[in-house]
Homo-oligomer: A and B are copies of this chain.
Amino acid sequence: MSTDQHKIPQATAKRLPLYYRFINNLHHQGKLRVSSKELSEAVKVDSATIRRDFSYFGALGKKGYGYNVEYLLSFFRKTLDQDELTKVALIGVGNLGTAFLHYNFMKNNNTKIEMAFDADKGKVGEEVGGVSVYHIDQLEDMLKNTDVAILTVPSSEAQNITERLVEAGVSGILNFTPARITVPDHVRVHHIDLSVELQSLVYFLKHYPLDEEE
């Protein structure tokens, strides 16, 4: 599956799910075609950037016409592996973890949280958002064929749990703890650091010119 053309820029790859969602919306609205300009207004990405992004996958559009929504949609479905479901485990059924379980990222996705783990006996055995919560001691037993984990434990536990996840064969971690975890080269971590996001927004507000740019 790790096909040749991993020459897609990372910045592009990060935008693909966004495009996918909006194209899906358009489809539901019954739109038949769309231009890079329209799409640009909807997703707030420069239209030239959109055309460039799409062009890495070949000629998806028609000059003078734009893009066929149906075609684009089927292309993205294929590319983002809509069909092949990625199993996700969530570790730490606290405030954040619970919110994620209720949401479960299922709107138009290729991912599903299949199980959750917690150290708190009070939570073990419950179902949250339709997902069973197991005890963290059972992690190694239960975690089969699970590629991705969402980490929402206290930051002090993050590194320890990470090592167990890696050992159990997880290859991608979405880390919501403020800890910067260390992993082997073959594991990919995306840090989502909500406090940093808030603080950097505040920094931009205070230090960057109010009008123009961005």
* CB-contacts of A179-208 with B (<8 A): 180, 182, 185-186, 188-190, 192-208
Residue contact B209 to A2, C-beta cutoff 8 Å: yes
Residue of B nearest to A195 (CB): B105
Residue contact B206 to A1, C-beta cutoff 8 Å: yes
Residue contact B107 to A195, C-beta cutoff 8 Å: yes
Residues in B whose Cβ lies below 8 Å from that of A8? 207
Residue contact A203 to B13, C-beta cutoff 8 Å: yes
Q: What is the bound-complex CA distance between A10 and B214, given in angstroms?
A: 10
Residue contact A188 to B205, C-beta cutoff 8 Å: yes
Residue contact A86 to B209, C-beta cutoff 8 Å: no
Q: What is the bound-complex CA distance between A22 and B43, given in angstroms?
A: 34
Q: What would 5 more interface pairs be, CB under 8 Å, given A147-B205, A172-B201?
A: A2-B206, A10-B204, A42-B180, A44-B180, A190-B200
